[in-house]
Each structure stands twice: as structure tokens, then as C-alpha cells.
Amino acid sequence: MTAISASAVPAAASSDSDGAVLHRPVIDWFDAHARDLPWRRPEAGAWGVMVSEFMLQQTPVSRVLPVYEQWLARWPRPADLAAEPPGEAVRAWGRLGYPRRALRLHGAAAAIRERHGGDVPRDHAQLLALPGVGEYTAAAVASFAYGQRHPVLDTNVRRVFARAVSGAQYPPNATTAAERKLARALLPGDEPTAARWAAATMELGALVCTARTPDCVRCPIAALCAWRQAGSPEHDGPARRGQTYAGTDRQVRGKLLAVLREAVTPVPQTALDQVWDEPVQRARALDGLVSDGLVEPLSGGLYRLPLT
């Protein structure tokens, strides 16, 4: 079978050719192989979908699952989270990493309570207007929670499109206008199919078309894949960003936050000094946490998670 060319795809959005031939095999594969994840169940609702999208950014499903379950048990609705101090969101975030996401989710919950009567809005523009909600999250919630027709471009989806349509091993480091145009062109015309396509392409990238070792034998569109038909050429663009952690300010920030999360009373500077030997880096990390609103300094050299 002939590979799908990127130049041919825009017509596929409104016709039954080119990119449209990808829809049925990918969705059928998803129907047979999708993981049973709690945020995909009907009872999760829009709030459950939103929580999962915040948690899953740059974090694998295996790490998110236990925190997600605890979070929804404690805060089943946005108003429940909004009623608590933001520091409790940071505490409950645990070791998921990138804890500013917890503050942003708390801010979104407060806005949902104040602007939308406690219900996650259906309207895409209203979702996008929530604090901490960007282009991807608004599209994901509108699509996965409300079955709407929006291009949902996370790293997994971008990689599937790069390989299957553009013939590249990896997408660019940052989402481009060309990728957005391609995603819109590939989107099925009706809302239920478009929402299913969004979830299916994401799952395909997570389970089969993976970054390091794609399992092309299991791929439902391997025969159509432009990258495979080109001989699976190696990436020749800018170097891909790594995910270093050991010895970085991120690691120091995590250690400092761990002490504060476990404390029930304000923590003295001396206790924080014990988590990292290098004083300049430790001070820089602590200053960054304070600047980001993740830590609140008190008089007498004490620190705590934020109350406001």
C-alpha cells in the first residue's frame, strides 16, 4: 500500500481518501487494545479527565495512577479542591514531579467554582480561559470528556503523525504550525469519530509507536507508514532534548519539597539545609520554590507549603 503523503492530507479532512484511510484501522485497534484507565471510564466525568491531563504531562501512567485515585477520592469535584489551601494540592501531588502543575490545577478548580458553578465547562474557549489550561489541555478535556472535535496534539500523537504521514522518525522539539495544520486535516469530520481518533492516536503512540523501540509489527497502519516506506531513516534534525535529573536544581527542589510535604508544622531553615550539601544550589532551588509560589517563607527562618 502507498504511504500517506503530508502534502496530500488536507483534502482528507473532507473526503474519503488519503488521511481518512488511517481512521478505521487506528480506531479499530484502539477498540481492541486500549488500556482500562480510570479517567477513561464514564464515572470519571470531566473533572476526572482534567485531573488526569494535568498529572500525565511529562509523567508516565504508572506513576500517575495511585496519586490520581487518591486525589479523586479526596477531591471528587473542583469545589472540593478549591476549598483547601493550595499547599494541600502540592502535598497531595507527592513525587509526580513538576509540582507547579498542582498549583495550576488548584487555580483551575477555584476558577471553575467561581465562574462555572463548580462544573468543568464544555466550551473550548472557556476551558482555554482557565488558569493553567493551555492549548493541549483544553482540547483534550473538550475531546475526551465531552466528545468534541478538536485536534489533540501531545508528544505521542505528534510522533505517530511524524512517522505515518511526514516520514520522520521524530517530530520537532516544539509543536509547529505545520503540525497543527496536519492534525486538523487528519481529524475525522464527525465529533464522535474525531474524539475516538484523538484517544486512539495517543494510545498508539504510547503503546506501539514508541520513541525508542517502535513495535511496527503490531501497528495497524504499518503498511501505510511513510517513515517505514522510506526505510525508517534516522533522525537528522536538531538534537532531541534529554530528561536529565540527577544533580539538577529539579532534584534539589524535589528534596526540599519532600521535607515540607511531610511536615505538619513550619520547617526551620536548618532542616532544609540538610537535604543538599551544596549551599549555593540549595539556596537557588529554595528561592525558586518561593518565587513559584510552592513554598511560603515565614518569619524566624521558617518555611511551609502555601496557605493562600
Q: What is the pLDDT of residues 246-261, one digit of tens each?
A: 889 999 999 999 999 9
Longest Cα–Cα distance of the chain, Å, equals: 71
Question: Using CA atoms, how far apart are residues 223 and 25, in angstroms rounded to an integer?
Answer: 11
Inter-residue contact 15 to 107 (CB < 8 Å): no
Q: Average of pLDDT values for 60-86?
A: 97
Torsion of CA 289, 261, 72, 103, to 10 degrees: -10
Q: Residues of the chain with pLDDT > 90: what percent?
A: 87
What is the pTM assigned to this prediction?
0.88
E strand or H helix at 158:
helix 155-161
Residue 104 predicted with pLDDT over 90: yes
The percent of residues in the chain predicted with pLDDT above 70, rounded, is 93
Residue-level pLDDT at 112: 98
Q: Does residue 53 have an active-site annotation?
A: yes
Determine the Cα–Cα distance for residues 72 and 49; give it in Å rounded to an integer.
11
pLDDT of residue 247: 86
Return the pLDDT at 17: 44
What is the per-residue burial (b if ≥16 Cβ within 10 Å, else e) of 231-244? eeeeeeeeeeeeee
Catalytic residue among 53, 88, 203, 296: 53
Q: Domains in the chain, ordered, with CATH?
A: 17-230 (1.10.340.30), 249-304 (1.10.10.10)
Copy the grid coordinates of residue 180.
497543527
